[in-house]
Structure 1
Amino acid sequence: MIGRRSPSQQRSKDEAEKPFWISYADLMTALMVLFLVVMAVALLAVTRTVSERERREAEHKADIDHCMALAVEAAKRHDGVRVDLRRNVIDFGDRARFAFNSSTLSPEQEGVLRRFVPELLSLAESASCKRVLKRIVVEGYTDKTGNYLTNLNLSLMRSQRVLCAMFKTNGPSPLTDTQKKAVRDLFLVGGFAFNSSKDTPEESRRVEMRIEFLGINEKRVEPSQDTSGDFGTCAI
């Protein structure tokens, strides 16, 4: 009949179209598989990155904990010295307190500090501390008597006086030149006026040593290359 397709013509057209549709379906399947592969690789990379960061954080914390544990052990060998693990602070108690409006340490107090500081220098050379230790800050404090700037200056003088005791050439338990160089490279002074005052004025007039640690990605600042051994002197 004119205008009517024969069955053979219809089958020929269908068969001609089939390869195109099959290829399109295969292409979509391949693209979906490729997408899934890319997502899987990306997810794996993210997981590895997170795992690596978590591993580094855990190792960093373990080093800090071990370093502070060494500080606690060192403090136990010296009467009156204790470690505040919450603040990473070494508290000398009565062994490093000052008279009212004074920045003078007694010879006995200087001896206590000079006997303890080598413990810190030895601690700093341990494997765990070497990886994370940034510096040790000697912090001076005052009581609440007096104005802010006067007390700030007094607190700085107190912390400086501790460093001066480290570099004295006379008195009990003097440090070696090697130890003095390590103190110069590792220690820093700071003053805090009457911030963080204690329960009594006597307890507030003190110095503490705060152990600071590097951040996970923080780089240590290289110490001075001065090897002259001329440390200077402190004014009386």
Structure 2
Amino acid sequence: MLGIHAIRRRGNRDEAEKPFWISFADLMTALMVLFLVVMGVALLAVTKNVTEHERKQEQHRKNIEEILKRFEEAARRHEDIKVDKLRQVIDFGQRAQFAFGDWRLNSQQEEVLRKFVPEILNLANDDLGKSVLKRIVVEGYTDKTGTYLANLNLSLLRSQKVLCAMFATSGPSLLNDDQKEQVRGLFFVGGYSFNDSKDTAEESRRVEMRLEFLGVDETRATPPAVAGNFGDCALR
């Protein structure tokens, strides 16, 4: 009887412990399932973000290709003007070449620039242009003759002279005030001395317009509101 009684008592104790261990196991299982759900949702969110970013990058690349194509088509309507899509520059060829040691453009060269600038502005300020084009840098170059600093100054003067041609108040194909406002907000001046020289000295003495593009989700900065007051060119 004592033995039977002892066995029964031990059995009652085991039965009392079973509900606790079953509940703990269920709790661990539930936590594991919850963990897997959370991790799955997190991975889906990360994957979605990466995929969306890649989609934006691809669309941005296509938009840049499209606007370069439009610039190229516009350049074909003007003799000697070309667009280098690889370097992303507008090359004016002989239309913007300079004499040795000089920064002046002749009247025909200035007219060619002013005729092409409105096309640049139209492309830069339509919906596609605003979404990808950041600014246009006018870059002056020199040949390898002379010192570095002298040529650096000369290249800056050549770039400045191109901007002066756009703001001219006399001569053919003048820009109107609205176009000049757009030029002031979009164009920048740069000088590159004899870096990136061409095959000949004559070809090296040139000016190019480099197209700079916005990054993905970047927007073009709004130029300061300064109407008119363009001034006169200091170069003669």
Relative to the length of structure 2, the TM-score reads 0.95
Q: How many pairs are equivalent? A: 235
Secondary structure, counterpart of 2:102 in structure 1 = coil
Q: Which residue of 2 aligns with 1:118?
A: 118
Question: Per-residue deviation at 1:220?
Answer: 2.5
Task: Note the alpha carbon deviations across 1:166-188, whole angstroms, 9 max, x for none.
Answer: 11122121111111111111101
Task: Note the alpha carbon deviations across 1:30-83, whole angstroms, 9 max, x for none.
Answer: 011011011011101111111121122122222211111111111111111111
Q: Which residue of 2 aligns with 1:55?
A: 55
Q: Which residue of 2 aligns with 1:225?
A: 225
Q: Which residue of 2 aligns with 1:168?
A: 168
Select between 128-137 and 7-16 the one with higher mean Cα deviation: 7-16
Q: Which residue of 1 aligns with 2:100?
A: 100
Secondary structure, counterpart of 2:69 in structure 1 = helix
Q: Distance in 2 between matches of 1:59 and 1:90?
A: 23
Q: Distance in 2 between matches of 1:13 and 1:75?
A: 94
Q: Which residue of 1 aligns with 2:191?
A: 191
Name the amino acid aligned to 1:129: G
Give the root-mean-square deviation of aligned CA atoms: 1.4
Verify the 8 A CA contact 2:139 2:210 in the aligned structure 1: yes
Q: Distance in 2 between matches of 1:74 and 1:20?
A: 81
Segments of 4+ moved more than 6 angstroms: none
Identity of aligned residues (%): 62
Verify the 8 A CA contact 2:130 2:220 in the aligned structure 1: no
Secondary structure, counterpart of 1:108 in structure 2 = helix
Secondary structure, counterpart of 2:100 in structure 1 = coil
Q: Distance in 2 between matches of 1:34 and 1:149?
A: 68
Q: Which residue of 2 aligns with 1:158?
A: 158
Q: Distance in 1 between matches of 2:30 and 2:224?
A: 62
Q: Gaps spanning 5+ residues in structure 1: where?
A: none
Verify the 8 A CA contact 2:154 2:193 in the aligned structure 1: yes
Relative to the length of structure 1, the TM-score reads 0.95
Q: Gaps spanning 5+ residues in structure 2: where?
A: none
Task: Give the alignment of 1:174-185 within 5 angstroms.
Answer: 174-185=174-185
Q: Which residue of 2 aligns with 1:133?
A: 133
Select between 170-179 and 205-214 the one with higher mean Cα deviation: 170-179
Q: Distance in 2 between matches of 1:230 and 1:30?
A: 73
